[in-house]
Chains A and B, each alone.
Chain A
Amino acid sequence: MDHFPTSWGRPRNDAIDAYGTYPIAQRPYNGPKDAFSEGVQHTQQPIVTGTSVLAIKFKDGVMMAADNLASYGSLARFKDVQRLYPVGTHTVIGAGGDMSDFQYIQSMLDELMIDEFCAQDGHTLGPAEIHEYLAQVMYARRSKMNPLWNALLVGGVKDGKSFLAFVDLLGTTYTASTLATGYGAHIAQPLLRSAVETHEHELTEAQARQIIDDSMKVLFYRDARSINKYQVATITAAGSSISDSITLETTWDFAEGIRGYGAQTE
């Protein structure tokens, strides 16, 4: 028991100590911390970064793609990084932005899904719930001036409904039948829209795959932070699968004819 009268009668914080488990003396301190104690640790900029993620809806579900590169500035530092991650059986998230923050998000979601699994009561978190959770976490972190520096796509299928939505480091969310993050939002999104919009419910998996492959190829030609190696995730009512890395066939003959910059001597 806490014999100091000054600690008596403090309101409990149900958000932190929902069950009132702790004796009063051991309760977590909810007051302000030293103003500078965490200041220097806030994320000011991303360090090791991934580039675009693309995703579209098709007849049976959602397809998502991201390349395998994690850049260190403009240096192509890590060339076999998986930027698509399955969460539960019917959801996949894809991340651009800081890869260490993405790894943190992965372990956070793993923990969440284990907690959910341990309840063993038949209730599961689907893509919509995971997206809402991520949105709340991202917004909470940005409100602490310490954002998780990512742009995330969440795609999945639950109860026969496909779900695709975006959330970024500010906690901004939106949803559409085609989504792209980063450079892809400028280069690939118009291509995806013209190929997908209005016939989301007719596109077959093969057609969706063709649209994704074409867009990834365009992105590789245009985006200097991309690599010609990428993975594709497919989520249907049957579950999610993430492909092995695919290497793009590209040609650079046309580059010979380009004049005006580079190593040409004439």
Chain B
Amino acid sequence: MFRNTYDSDNTVFSPQGRLHQVEYALEAVKQGSAAVGLRSKTHSILLALKRSTGELASYQQKMFRIDDHIGIAIAGLTSDARVLSNFMRQQAMSSKMVFNRPVPVNRLVSTVADKAQVNTQEYGRRPYGVGFLVIGQDQSGPHLYEFSPSGNSYEYYAMSIGARSQSAKTYLEKHYESFADCNLEDLIRHGLHALRETLQQDKELNINNTSIGIVGPASEHENGVPPTGPFRILEGEKIDAFLGTMIAKETEAPAAAPAATGDEDVQMAE
């Protein structure tokens, strides 16, 4: 039976200088269904693939609104995500109440990363088993951040997390240079194409299994969005128009989708 001597306690380094509990937490993120984030000069967007446990079950919520100007997509343990999104909401409210200022996105992400880092260092705790993509806008424009349970947070032009997210990443790496000047419709189309790469062979994106989160001015397919372009989550019928803009895979440049690394299942490196 596989047994690892150095993984029973997150504060103990292995002889290779690794913290196994933290690495397991990163694996938990890879178990969750994929989420993709992209940023242009005017917008940040999230796209996520929702799962349902069966024909009779509803689809699990993948996106959460933190404040008018910030939203997240999650991959990993939903219960941990609810704890952390609650925390982020409190931080956002606190900034609004104390300074009458929407919390700057980078500060919120750093705060939640600091909180997660403590759990990788103290005895008797476990790391959070969830990763976020965070989008938001503040005085310095739209932003996209990744948060991971190791306590890292980075800003990105485009990023993907979750199961088979490497395939989406490959797509994003190929096209990211065009994202900055994209309009919202093209940006979402790129996002949908990237998200499609994470699907299993016989699956397709549809209005039930796809969520779109947007920060920035309204799209031509949206109604009743205030001019400030607050964070909103589009689901169901509202994303039909966006799904319609996708270009079928066959007609596309065939280069994409290299060796899907099959990280659907947990595979510890080493």
Contacts from A to B (Cβ < 8 Å): 1, 14-15, 18-21, 23, 119, 121-123, 125, 128-129, 132-133, 136
Chain A residues within 8 Å of B119, by CB: 20
Q: Report which of A23, A122, A123, A132 forms a contact with B98, defined as CB distance below 8 A.
A: A132
Q: Report which of A18, A21, A23, A128 forms a contact with B91, defined as CB distance below 8 A.
A: A18
Q: A14 and B90: CB pair below 8 A?
A: yes
At the interface, yes or no: B225 with Cβ under 8 Å from chain A?
no
Chain A residues within 8 Å of B91, by CB: 18
Q: A19 and B98: CB pair below 8 A?
A: no
Chain B residues within 8 Å of A18, by CB: 87, 91, 111, 115
* Residues from 68 to 100 in B contacting A, C-beta threshold 8 Å: 87, 90-91, 94, 97-100
Chain B residues within 8 Å of A14, by CB: 87, 90
The stretch of B3-11, B101-109, B232-240 that contacts the partner chain: B101-109
**Known A128-B100, A133-B98, A136-B97: A123·B122 in contact at CB below 8 Å:** no
Secondary structure dominating the interface of A:
loop
* Residues from 189 to 228 in B contacting A, C-beta threshold 8 Å: none
Q: B118 and A129: CB pair below 8 A?
A: no
* Residues from 110 to 143 in B contacting A, C-beta threshold 8 Å: 111, 114-115, 118-119, 122-124, 138-140
Nearest-Cβ distance from residue B102 to partner chain A, whole angstroms? 10
Query: Can you name 10 extra interface pairs (CB under 8 A) apart from A121-B104, A123-B104?
Result: A14-B90, A122-B139, A122-B140, A123-B139, A125-B99, A125-B101, A128-B100, A132-B101, A136-B97, A136-B98
**Known A1-B123, A23-B122, A133-B99: A123·B107 in contact at CB below 8 Å:** yes
Nearest-Cβ distance from residue A252 to partner chain B, whole angstroms? 47
Q: A132 and B104: CB pair below 8 A?
A: no
The CA-CA distance from A228 to B140 in the complex, in Å, is 46
Which residue on A lies nearest to B103, using beta carbons? A123
**Known A14-B90, A20-B115, A23-B122: A121·B107 in contact at CB below 8 Å:** yes
Which of A18, A23, A128, A136 counts the most chain B CB atoms within 10 A? A18
The CA-CA distance from A14 to B85 in the complex, in Å, is 13
Q: Report which of B97, B107, B118, B139 forms a contact with A119, defined as CB distance below 8 A.
A: B107
Report, as a range, how many residues of chain B touch the other chain.
20 to 34
Chain A residues within 8 Å of B115, by CB: 18-20
Q: B107 and A132: CB pair below 8 A?
A: no
**Known A121-B104, A133-B98, A136-B97: A19·B118 in contact at CB below 8 Å:** yes
Which residue on B lies nearest to A21, using beta carbons? B118
Q: A20 and B98: CB pair below 8 A?
A: no
8 sample A-B contacts, Cβ–Cβ < 8 Å, listed by A number? A19-B111, A21-B118, A121-B106, A122-B139, A122-B140, A129-B99, A132-B98, A136-B98
Q: B114 and A132: CB pair below 8 A?
A: no
Chain B residues within 8 Å of A123, by CB: 104, 107, 138-140
The CA-CA distance from A15 to B90 in the complex, in Å, is 9
**Known A121-B107, A123-B138: A1·B99 in contact at CB below 8 Å:** no
Per CB-CB distance, the 6 closest pairs between chain A and chain B, nearest first, are A132-B100, A129-B99, A123-B104, A19-B115, A129-B101, A19-B114
Which residue on A lies nearest to B113, using beta carbons? A19
Which residue on A lies nearest to B117, using beta carbons? A19
The CA-CA distance from A121 to B268 in the complex, in Å, is 37
The CA-CA distance from A219 to B96 in the complex, in Å, is 38
Chain A residues within 8 Å of B101, by CB: 125, 128-129, 132
The CA-CA distance from A17 to B90 in the complex, in Å, is 13
Which of B98, B99, B139 counts the most chain A CB atoms within 10 A? B99
Which residue on B lies nearest to A2, using beta carbons? B124
Chain B residues within 8 Å of A19, by CB: 111, 114-115, 118
Q: A129 and B123: CB pair below 8 A?
A: no
Chain B residues within 8 Å of A21, by CB: 118
The CA-CA distance from A119 to B140 in the complex, in Å, is 15
Which residue on B lies nearest to A136, using beta carbons? B98
The CA-CA distance from A136 to B123 in the complex, in Å, is 37
Chain A residues within 8 Å of B98, by CB: 132-133, 136
Chain B residues within 8 Å of A119, by CB: 107
Chain B residues within 8 Å of A133, by CB: 98-99
Q: A132 and B99: CB pair below 8 A?
A: yes
Chain B residues within 8 Å of A129, by CB: 99-101
The CA-CA distance from A30 to B72 in the complex, in Å, is 31
Which residue on A lies nearest to B106, using beta carbons? A121
Chain A residues within 8 Å of B99, by CB: 125, 129, 132-133
**Known A123-B104, A123-B138: A20·B118 in contact at CB below 8 Å:** yes
Chain A residues within 8 Å of B104, by CB: 121, 123
The CA-CA distance from A121 to B103 in the complex, in Å, is 12
The CA-CA distance from A15 to B106 in the complex, in Å, is 19
Chain B residues within 8 Å of A128, by CB: 100-101
Which residue on B lies nearest to A14, using beta carbons? B90
The CA-CA distance from A245 to B13 in the complex, in Å, is 63
Chain A residues within 8 Å of B124, by CB: 1, 23
Chain B residues within 8 Å of A23, by CB: 122-124
